[in-house]
Amino acid sequence: MHPLIEKVREAGVVGAGGAGFPSHIKFNAQVDTLLANGAECEPLLYKDKETMRVFPEEIAKGMELVAQATGANRQILGLKSKNHEVIGVFHRMFGHDDTKVVHEMGDYYPAGDEYVLVFEATGRLIPYGGYPVDIGCVVTNVETLVNVALANLGIPVTDAIITVAGAVRNPVTIRVPIGTSMQTVLDWTGGISTGGQKPYALDGGAMMGELVEDFSKPITKTSAGFIVVPEDHILVRRRNASVSEFKRIGQSACDQCSYCTEFCPRYLLGYQIEPHKVMRSLGFKGEQDTFWGSYAINCCECNLCTYYACPEDLDPKQACTRSKVNIRLQDIPYTPPEQPLTAHPMQAHRKVSTTKLTRKLGLTPFDVHADWAECDLQPSEVVIPLKQHIGVPSEPIVSVGDTVTRGQKIGAIPTGQMGANVHASINGRVTEVGDAIRIEAA
Ligand code: SF4
Ligand code: SF4
C-alpha cells in the first residue's frame, strides 16, 4: 500500500462532499486523471468555495499527494467561473505546469455531480453502473483534499467545514468540531430568524439534503451545511407530503408532458433514465410497476425533476427512489443498453441556472453569501457517530469514563471490512458509547 493511503486510512479521511466513501479505498487505484471537485451547486451553500479561498495551499498539496499515489499525470480542479478570486489564486499556484488545469464551469445545477464534472472536464462518460475509476479518473471533493494534506502530516479528521444559511441571523461558513450539535452551531452563529415560526433545517442543502426538525443532530465528516427554513416554507410542505398523497396525486395529475425527463441531467448525459415513464409505474402493481420503474435505475436523486422541471409540482424523484427500492428488493439484475453512451445534443444548452433554481425553491430572500468566519466554538459536549461513511460502523475502542484528547482514535475499522476510523474532536471524558460516542468537554 502506498504510504499516503495508509496515512489517509489512519486519519479517517472520507469523501467530504457526498456519502462519505472511505478515501483510502478510492485512492488505492491507478488512473491518469485526478479531478478535484469544487463545483459546489446546492443553492446557498458556500462551503467548497470558502474552503478553496481559505485553504488553497492545502488543496494543491492534497492534489499533488493523491496524484502521486494514484499515478495521475493530470490534475484538474473543477469549479464555477463565477469564483474569480479563487480561480486567480489557483492559476498562480499552478503556474505554467500544463499537467495542472483549472476547469471553469457555469453556475448551474448539478455541476458538482461527479458524472457531470467528469464529462465536462474530460469529455468521458462514466459507464452504466460504473465509477470514475473505470474511465481512468479519481474525483475527490476539495475539503477532502485539505484533510489529505493534514493526514500526510499525521493529523486526523476532527473538524468539518459547513455553511449555515437560510433564516438565520448571520449566514456563515465555519469549521467546527465533528459531533457538535446543529443547535450549538446555530447558537454560536447568532440564532435563527424564522419570525416565531417553528424552524426546520435542510441538512445537506435544499435539493439533496434531509429535512430535520431535531437540532440536536450532530455535524459529521460529510456535513456540507444546513439551511434553516420556517415551517410554512414550500420545501417543508413538500418534504413532509405523505407517501399516499404523493402516489395519489402523482397517479392522477401527471399529464406525461415529459419535462422531468427533458431536464434530467443524467438523461441529458445519455443514460437510460426517463422519470416521466417512471411516473407511469404509480398506476400499476406487479410486472407493469417493475417495467416502468426500470427507467429509474440511473437516477442520482438530484431532485431537479421534482423541484424545478415538473409544472404540476409532482414528485418524479420520489417515484424513481421508490422504483429503485422495489427493483433492488426483487433482486432484478440490470442490463445496460447495448448502444454506446452518447450525450444528448441539447446537453450543453439545457442547464438549469442556480439563480433560477434558487428562485423556484423560494430561497431568494435568503440568498446572501455565507462568508468564512474564524470559529472558536468550544462545545460542552460532542456526539460522534461511529458510522459517518459508506461501509460498516467503526468499533469503539474507548469506554465510558475514559479521558480522551482531541485527535485520539476512538473508533477503529473492523478487521477486513470497509469503513473509516473515527477520532475525538475535543478533549474530554467519554460519557456514552453506543452507535455514537458522547464526549463531555474537559
Ligand atoms: S414533468 Fe410532471 S407532469 Fe410532466 S411528465 Fe414529469 S411528472 Fe408528469
Ligand atoms: S432526480 Fe430526477 S432529474 Fe435527478 S437524476 Fe433522478 S430522474 Fe433525473
**pLDDT, tens digit, 9 for 90 and up, residues 292-315:** 999 999 999 999 999 999 999 999
pLDDT surpassing 80 at residue 359:
yes
pLDDT at 250 over 80: no
Q: Tell me the pairing of strands 381-385 and 436-441.
A: antiparallel
Ligand 2 centroid to 128 CA: how many Å?
Answer: 15
Amino acid at position 143, single letter: E
Amino acid, single-letter form, for residue 277? K
Taking residues 39-55, what's their average pLDDT? 97
**pLDDT computed for residue 51 by the predictor:** 98
**Local confidence band at 31 (pLDDT 50, 70, 90 cut-offs):** very high
> What span, in angstroms and rounded, lies between the C-alpha atoms of 208 and 317?
11
| Residue to probe by mutation, ligand 1, list 257, 277, 295, 317, most atoms within 8 Å of CB | 257
**428 contacts: CB under 8 Å, gap ≥ 6:** 381, 382, 403, 404, 439, 440, 441, 442
User: Does the beta carbon of 65 lie inside 6 Å of ligand 1?
Assistant: no
Residue 420 is predicted with a pLDDT of 98
Contact between residue 79 and residue 52 where contact means Cβ atoms under 8 Å apart: yes
Confidence of residue 245 (pLDDT cuts 50, 70, 90): confident
Among the bound ligands, name the one nearest to the CA of residue 265: 2
- DSSP lists the bridge partners of residue 177 as 159
> What residues pair up with 385 in beta bridges, in sequence order?
436
Tens-digit pLDDT profile for residues 12-29? 999 997 889 999 999 999
Domains in the chain (CATH in brackets) are: 3-152 (3.40.50.11540), 158-233+362-379 (3.10.20.600), 243-352 (no CATH), 380-442 (2.40.50.100)
pLDDT of residue 14: 98
Q: What percent of the chain has pLDDT over 90?
A: 93
pTM of the model: 0.96
Kindly report which listed range (7-11, 280-284, 437-441) carries the lowest average pLDDT score.
280-284
Give the Cα-Cα-Cα angle 181, 165, 381 (nearest 5 degrees). 10
Give the DSSP per-residue string, 55-105.
-HHHHHHHHHHHHHHHT-SEEEEEEETT-HHHHHHHHHHHTT-TTEEEEEE
Q: Which atom of ligand 2 is nearest the CA belonging to 110?
A: 4
Q: Render pLDDT for 112-154 as a digit per residue (tens, 0 to 9).
A: 999 999 999 999 999 998 999 999 999 999 999 999 999 999 9
**Whether 302 contacts 205, CB under 8 Å:** no
The pLDDT, as a whole number, for residue 338 is 86
Q: Does the beta carbon of 254 lie inside 6 Å of ligand 1?
A: yes
Cis amide leading into 132 (omega within 30): no
Q: If you average pLDDT over residues 78-97, what whole number do you get? A: 96
pLDDT tens readout for residues 273-282: 999 999 999 9
Q: Is the CB of 260 under 6 A from ligand 1?
A: yes
* Structure-block grid coordinates of residue 316: 418524479
Q: pLDDT digit string (tens) for 176-185?
A: 999 999 999 9
CA 301–ligand 2 middle distance (angstroms): 5
Atom nearest to 316 CA in ligand 1: 7
DSSP letters for 102-156 = EEEE-SEETTTSHHHHHHHHHS--PPTT--GGGGTEEEEEHHHHHHHHHHHTT--
Q: Which ligand is nearest to the CA of 307?
A: 2
Distances (CA, A) of 432 to 66, 119, 285, 409: 36, 46, 46, 16
Q: Residue 395, class by beta-carbon neighbours within 10 Å (0-12 exposed, 13-18 middle, 19+ buried)?
A: middle
